[in-house]
Structure 1
Amino acid sequence: MIRIGTSGWRYPEWRDGFYRNVPQRRWLSHLASHVGTIEINSSFYRLQPPSNYRKWYAETPADFVFSVKGPKLITHLKRLRHVEEPLKTFLDSLALGPKQGPIIWQLPPTLRFDHALLQDFLATLPPGRHAVEPRHESFRTNAYFDLLHAHNVAHVISDAPTFPCIEAVTADFAYIRLHGHDELYISSYDDRQLDKWAQQIRDWDRDTYVYFDNTMKGAAPGNARTLAQRLGMPLTSHT
């Protein structure tokens, strides 16, 4: 199972390109008709009410999957410490049912690898698919990889010019975020780069989630569709 999509969908920069002639109220359903998954980013900034998740569920195809970004209250403000209460509040808000995919925990760039801290955090997570995106070079260590492997938590392989790209698969699924190789959140991926990622995904031979986060100039939807084509997936998977 390979799911390829974008990080978010509410981008005014896409209005004159991918969303041309599409009213804003239909942006989600339009994008979901072209990709198999979307990463929900708004949950990182503020707690979303269950009604939002139910609305997004209703606007997407039956076989669609959302990944959900964990709150920055947990990752950036509390920095993974004493998170039981906000974690429960966040998990109770989710109302995606069978469309619930992995939860991604994006760590702040100033957070260094701390084995005990991360072990305690992983132990609090409920069953299901979780992925951790570190942004500090100190996570490039077997101690980190082994810890994720023990909990079947995916390391997020991030491609970006401003934080480390640590390529490691630590779970029974892989999780990739492509933020723009040359310019963060901006640059498009060329044929050579997409060929590389397509081959890497084939080599892993496991469930894989891929999210293009190069959204600021509208490259993400096209890159997602092209990578899907490289992997022999239909350009438009829903009708």
Structure 2
Amino acid sequence: MNRSARNTAMHDTLVGCAGWSLSSAHAAAFGNGASALQRYATRLSVVEINSSFYRPHRAATYARWASVVPAGFRFSVKFPQTISHQLRLSGAAPLLDPFLEAAQQLGGKLGALLLQLSPSLAYDGRVASSFLRALRRRTTARMACEPRHASWFSEAADAMLRTHDVARVAANPARFPLAAWPGGTRSWSYWRWHGQPRMYYGRYGEPALRKLAGDLAERDASGEAWMIFDNTADGSAVPDALCLQALLREKPDA
């Protein structure tokens, strides 16, 4: 890996977790704060709000979260399951307004919107384009999409995502070979590692994270890369995030 690639990864990769829960085993790695979110934000620069998938949050709640983190901190907010899984993007435009109006109370700390699709949702260019046009009429926020059906990993689907400036998530474990790598827009990238060998559980450990650091440096994209650890069920996300953060800060080889 060359020096410039490593420097790009170090400065442009934001590392965080799906949620800001901190176990007592890792609390000492973080600074002081009046809440878990404040303590989390002393070490990590981004967080994914997954609870918005299950239930709506009040605008005041988003505003409060934004008020307790540093200026450079960023949130990613997951779309509600009513949009992604129940309506399956079709006719979902009316539900965008209450979701976005609340999430936009994060202000400049709203870094991204995350749309995770059902594994059974096949690519339909008409439905997907209609949904994304409706979204783009309402917001210019960055957006990442994690499709989980094979039909989304095609040239047509990738071109459609690029048209709407949407990043296709690079996932681990990957259901299909292309799912391991970013797609869609090349302006930034969004990576989600869900745990292995069991979803949402288990440490990746330094060897896997060292390879990931290299992949992030060599990525085919400009701008930022967001790396989110979703292996939260047993508390593995936090140590993996801190380990990757340290690896990205290592001095490059001479």
Report the TM-score when normalising by structure 1.
0.89
Q: Which residue of 2 aligns with 1:201?
A: 216
2:247 matched to which residue of 1?
Answer: 230
Between the aligned partners of 1:58 and 1:128, the Cα distance in structure 2 is 19
Gaps of 5+ in 1: 234-239
Paired position in structure 2 for 1:16? 24
Query: Where does residue 150 of structure 1 map in the other structure?
Result: 163
* Alignment match of 2:56 (pick from 26, 47, 51): 47
Identity of aligned residues (%): 32
Which segment is superposed worse, 164-173 or 105-114?
Answer: 164-173
- Out of 199, 207, 221, which is 1:184 matched to? 199
Q: Distance in 2 between matches of 1:153 and 1:40?
A: 18
In the TM superposition, what is the alpha-carbon distance from 1:203 to its structure 2 partner?
A: 1.1
How far is the alpha carbon of 1:206 from its aligned partner?
Answer: 2.9
Q: Secondary structure, in 3 states, of the residue corresponding to 1:197?
A: helix
**C-alpha separation between the residues in 1 aligned to 2:190 and 2:31?**
30
Return 110-119 or 96-105, whichever deviates more.
Answer: 110-119
**Residue of structure 1 in register with 2:13 after alignment:** 2
How far, CA to CA, are the matches of 1:52 and 1:23 in structure 2? 21
Checking the alignment, whether the CA contact within 8 Å between 2:76 and 2:112 is kept in structure 1 is: yes
Asked whether the equivalents of residues 175 and 210 of structure 1 are also in contact (C-alpha less than 8 Å), the reply is: yes
Q: CA RMSD in A?
A: 2.2
| 1:88-144 CA distance string (max 9 Å, x none) | 111111210110111000101111111211111111113221111111122221111
Question: Does the 8 A contact of 1:160 with 1:183 survive in 2?
Answer: no
> Which residue pairs with 1:27 in the alignment?
36
* Post-superposition CA distance 1:46-82 (Å, at most 9, x none): 1110111111112211211001111111101111011
> How far apart, CA to CA, are the structure 2 residues paired with 1:47 and 1:113?
27
Name the SS for the 2:71 alignment partner: coil
Q: Is the 8 A contact 2:110 2:141 kept in 1?
A: no
What code does the residue aligned with 1:232 have?
A: R
Give the corresponding residue for 2:151. Answer: 138
Shift of 1:169: 3.0
SS in 1 for 2:90: coil
Q: For 1:104, which of 114, 130, 135 is the aligned residue?
A: 114
Runs of 4+ with deviation above 4 angstroms: 20-25
Q: SS of the residue aligned with 2:169?
A: strand
Opposite residue 60 of structure 1, the aligned amino acid is: V
Residue of structure 2 aligned with 1:213, choices 230, 245, 252: 230
Instruction: Find the counterpart in structure 1 of residue 184 from structure 2.
Output: 170
Alignment match, 2:5? none
* Aligned length, in residue pairs: 230
